[in-house]
Chains A and B, each alone.
Chain A
Amino acid sequence: MTVPAPHAGAAPRVVLAEADIDRALTRIAHEILEANKGSSDLVLLGIPRRGFPLAQRLARRIGAVDPSIDPRAITGQLDVTMYRDDLQRNPTRPPRATQLPPTGIDEKVVVLVDDVLYSGRTIRAALDALADLGRPRIVRLAVLVDRGHRELPIRADHVGKNLPTSSAERVRVHLEEIDTVAGRPVNEVVIEGGA
């Protein structure tokens, strides 16, 4: 089951290994603290599925820098399913849970966290979802990979890696919280398909 379909063209290539992901996340954590001039009012909202574990990892790193921070108290999950503009183009997706930190998001600095930034439509949906939940003071965006091909005027504030791709390719992020390959947890970013 781990073998990609034969028609997928070139074999999957690993573009970020586990250590690369770790380094990128550490750097982003520092950037977030720097941009925010500290940890006050920070809330990290991961977009399901893989944005959430990334948000958790970032929060742990922020907690390591600032021990006054409880990583769990600043982390949440923001489901954007029902705000997507492509619902009618796909089979029905069941929504996932939205869980905000106990402090809520009003007047907070919300950092949206996602794994791959591509068309920008997921982030647009996330901004709409956020507006229905409260009024943050600032909203920023952190992604592990920015692969280009934007279709909306959206950019990330914090990027783990800029990855030029062709739109025929697929970028897959595997995180051990969710993914296993051959029964073993794995952390990597691979590119499949394309030329």
Chain B
Amino acid sequence: MKHLLSTHDLALHDALRLLDTAEEMAAVGEREIKKLPALRGRTVVNLFYEDSTRTRISFEAAAKRLSADVINFAAKGSSVSKGESLKDTAQTLEAMSADAVVIRHPASGAPARLAASGWIDAAVLNAGDGTHEHPTQALLDAFTLRRHWAKVAGTGSPGSDLTGMRVLIVGDILHSRVARSNVWLLKTLGAEVTLVGPPTLLPVGVDTWPCTVRYNLDEALADRPDAVMMLRLQAERMNAAFFPSTREYSRRWGFDDARLAALDTLGLGDTVIMHPGPMNRGLEISAAAADSVRSTVLAQVRNGVSVRMAALYLLLAGGTHDDPAAPAVRENPALSPTKEPAV
């Protein structure tokens, strides 16, 4: 794994490795000294073509906890055509010896383009591209879900997956990179995913996705999900005739107080409510739901740093860009090396 571009092609092996490593990173986050020397001397560039303070500071904190040098490059603005091209920016970063580029871009596929172009040799981490994917968000969601699922089962989180867990993802699936990344990753981890939203906000072709699609949130809740992930409704969709009004949207697909109460009525004591943030309180999620004990919103933010540390560590710490699927350490216990000589 040289880059982290999507969860679509992330193998279970790699996903578990990321999540397990994130567990160790989370443990470091609870120490007094939260810093690790693993990426000392490495340079991580946050290349953000879109404003996203949350994601950027999460990556920045992750890189700094691993002792990497961090350069923030705000290439934001819609003047891509007027400004410097992605190619020139990439070559500039290459000349500055960037070891990793964390890229947020309004165009789907921009990170993949960067990774495949040959303009730059650095590892590329997708921090959200257009309406394509947001893999570290899905990883932190999966990390949060896995901890919850393990707690419910009374087992430990490391090494476990999400087999049997039922997850609802609710809202604007069509334009959501979070939804896409979560569908692939949660499925890989064994969860049963159901998408819920207005038919206008579900992509043509969704029938080929490894999940169930429903239009009615109350019916989906009656199917007893273990987690409900509410997606943010982007302001620009509100006036684009995808639905009649925000009031109707909120009534049919918002997680309101009545639906929060319904979880209790249904006896779903362990069902959690997730949101990638930032929330539109009163629109897709009520204040009571966002602030309830079921809400994992803050845990998601916290876990974001651990997951991004894991991603940066696994992509950058090694000297070679070998596929981690190829065993770095021989796995046969009988021939396991006692200690690799530290030449």
Which residues of A are in contact with B by a Cβ distance under 8 Å? Answer: 1-2, 49-50, 79, 81-98, 114-116, 118-119, 121-122, 128, 132-133, 151, 167, 170-174, 178-182, 186
Contacts and interface: CB of A to CB of B under 8 A. Distances in A.
Contacts of B17: 94
A2 B335 CA distance: 7
A93 B328 contact: yes
Contacts of A179: 333-334, 336
Contacts, number: 117
Given A82-B38, A114-B339, 4 more contacts: A91-B318, A91-B319, A95-B313, A172-B337
A89 B317 CA distance: 9
B33 interface: yes
- The 10 A-B pairs of least Cβ separation, nearest first, read A92-B318, A121-B342, A88-B319, A82-B38, A91-B328, A173-B338, A91-B322, A95-B24, A132-B33, A119-B342
Nearest to A1: B332
Contacts of B329: 93
A178 B322 contact: no
Nearest to A181: B334
B278 interface: no
Interface string B303-332: 000000000011101111010101011001
Contacts of B332: 1
A81 to B, nearest CB: 8
Nearest to A117: B339
Nearest to B67: A82
B341 interface: yes
26 contacts: A1-B332, A1-B335, A82-B37, A82-B38, A82-B317, A83-B36, A88-B317, A88-B318, A90-B319, A91-B324, A92-B313, A94-B21, A98-B24, A114-B339, A116-B339, A119-B342, A121-B342, A128-B37, A133-B33, A151-B342, A171-B338, A171-B339, A172-B337, A179-B334, A181-B334, A186-B334
B69 interface: no
A120 B27 CA distance: 26
A181 B320 CA distance: 31
Contacts of B320: 90-91
A132 B35 contact: yes
Contact of B340 (A90, A96, A114, A180): A90
B138 to A, nearest CB: 19
Contacts of B319: 87-91
Nearest to A4: B335
Contacts of B20: 94
Contact of B339 (A82, A89, A95, A122): A122
Nearest to A124: B342
Interface of B: 17, 20-21, 23-25, 27, 31, 33, 35-38, 66, 158, 313-315, 317-320, 322, 324, 326, 328-329, 332-343
Contacts of A128: 37
Contacts of B318: 87-88, 90-93
Contacts of A92: 313-315, 317-318, 322, 324, 328
B131 to A, nearest CB: 31
Nearest to A82: B38
B27 A97 contact: yes
Contact of B31 (A84, A132, A151): A132
Interface centre among B320, B328, B332, B336 (most CB of A within 10 A): B336
A50 B338 contact: yes
Contacts of A96: 24
Nearest to B24: A95
A115 B31 contact: no
A24 B63 CA distance: 44
A91 B328 CA distance: 6
A81 B20 CA distance: 14
A89 B320 CA distance: 7
B18 to A, nearest CB: 9
Nearest to B21: A94
A177 B315 CA distance: 31
A181 B20 CA distance: 28
Contacts of B24: 79, 94-98
A190 to B, nearest CB: 9
A118 B339 contact: yes
Contacts of B336: 49, 178-179
A84 B333 contact: no
A87 to B, nearest CB: 5
Q: Max chain B CB contacts within 10 Å: which of A86, A91, A121, A151?
A: A91
Interface centre among B66, B315, B328, by most chain A C-beta atoms within 10 angstroms, is: B328
Contacts of B328: 90-93
